[in-house]
Chains A and B, each alone.
Chain A
């Protein structure tokens, strides 16, 4: 850290925190924590619900359970209809992993073409991409179903992931475009002058520099895919192909009736990967939203 005069006054100021300021800070922290507790109450509730006996779950609102049981986790691992829980985790994971790869591959090249290259029709295509951002997806739902039905790929994960490989996710195309705007054009020019073609420029220069965007888009894709419900609801019918949201819905309609604790344990377990991802990568996420949202 440089010792120039710019930092010196700041250091001195911190040492001079008055008791009044400290009290103010404490009050602020307490107030914020209080709000936080209210906001995170549902999350606490799930945690306690997984270890309370079934009868108490709904009616006992105290965060400290009066009696414990680990049975719920045991029944959660049993899954449903003879299919164990890990199977559903695996299904979710496969779909999410494919989605991440697809988005990364297709949205980056689409964004590069739209944001960095010139060709006839570019502006029109870009306009279409923007339009799809604001377009209700339901309008394409039925024909897409009919198309996939014709292709005989209903009840597979093909319909769920193919769109990711074709750059149809306008949000991520947009995000990549925004990140690309942050890369100086002079780099392109330098590379061109030195004989690099556009493929080379993209793979050698852009992609490495796009790493923050890649990380951000991958995290968001993973989380959104993990939570996706409508797609699996419409396209997947075999219980052993169900990803976690489908399992939860199915379980909720049947066994949850008598085993609510098991339902809660399953819910908690299904949310763990999302929360974990978040805790590890939160800086990227928050920065990613900020960048894609504000610039432009």
Chain B
């Protein structure tokens, strides 16, 4: 792959159908007007699927659902404009309070636990020892299957009364039975499932860790810094862009958990609404109760919440994230 412009025609220009050569060899300008127009044309042509798709299936629906959120549209009975009634109803709706609580608890538990786990394992796996490739693959594997329906079904069995979790915890005096029947702790099932997918952020952490220059650690060691000190003052700051990325993506995804929550808790978020996730409730409202106007309001509330959280994170990142090679605090 030679990087130098050559005077011999590269193989790319061989063959029929080549565009008429616009540029002069050795022309001072990098792009001629014809080429620029051509570039624009190609650009739009290549973007055509996306443009169509975005209008019809992304931006269009977004605007439509915003409109729907101000109506009482019912899938069969139709609907009409009702202003902010959906939003006021939401705040009086006990199911809303419940769904928000369940989802928030999940996000606040699952995301930190998952990231801590993935960082720890990533640090363990960034050494070059024999067989490290095997370990990396093995630890990554669960994240591929964890969010599948099959594993969610398995999870229900693992956490049923008399099952592995129950028996294991009984040795330590647990008498609450299987998590699946116990509304006080049932959310832990889903938190653990989320932690089980630590593989993906782990790999990203690994890549980030490998980019930390070794000299920093050596210099610190020479200066007498201990392991913990090196971790806090070198590893974490150097990793902060990666940490930020992972925290952001994991949080955004955690708010949208659907599949496993649906399989484990059903549309009623059982037992006793303890696993009633926000997205599951949206599904139930839209496709079971057919109250699509109301469900749209719920969906937009989720957009707002995620938007706010994202903004806060970006704001915090300005102060907390250290980009090597830039001016920092």
Contact = CB atoms under 8 A, between A and B. Distances in A.
B324 interface: no
B231 interface: no
Contacts of B310: 134
B140 to A, nearest CB: 6
Interface stretch (B58-66, B83-91, B107-115, B220-228): B58-66
Contact of B144 (A29, A132, A278): A278
A60 to B, nearest CB: 9
Given A166-B53, A248-B149, A142 B142 contact: no
B282 A138 contact: yes
Contact of A140 (B13, B57, B252): B57
Contact of B42 (A41, A113, A134, A286): A113
B158 A197 contact: no
Interface stretch (A1-9, A79-87, A93-101, A269-277): A269-277
A109 B3 contact: no
Interface in B10-27: 10-13, 17-23, 25
Interface size class of A (residues with CB under 8 A): 35 or more
Interface of A: 25, 28-29, 32, 35-36, 39-43, 45-46, 49, 57-59, 61, 106, 109-110, 112-114, 117-120, 122, 125, 128-129, 132, 134-147, 162-163, 165-168, 173, 184, 186-187, 189-202, 204-205, 209, 223, 226-227, 229-230, 233-234, 244-246, 248-249, 252, 256, 260, 263-264, 266-268, 270-271, 274-275, 278-279, 282, 285-286, 289-291, 293-294
B5 interface: yes
Contacts of A226: 148
Contact of A113 (B20, B25, B43): B43
A117 B124 contact: no
Interface residues of B, number: 111
Contacts of B174: none
B242 A293 contact: yes
Interface string B199-213: 010011011100100
Contacts of A293: 203-204, 207, 242, 245-246
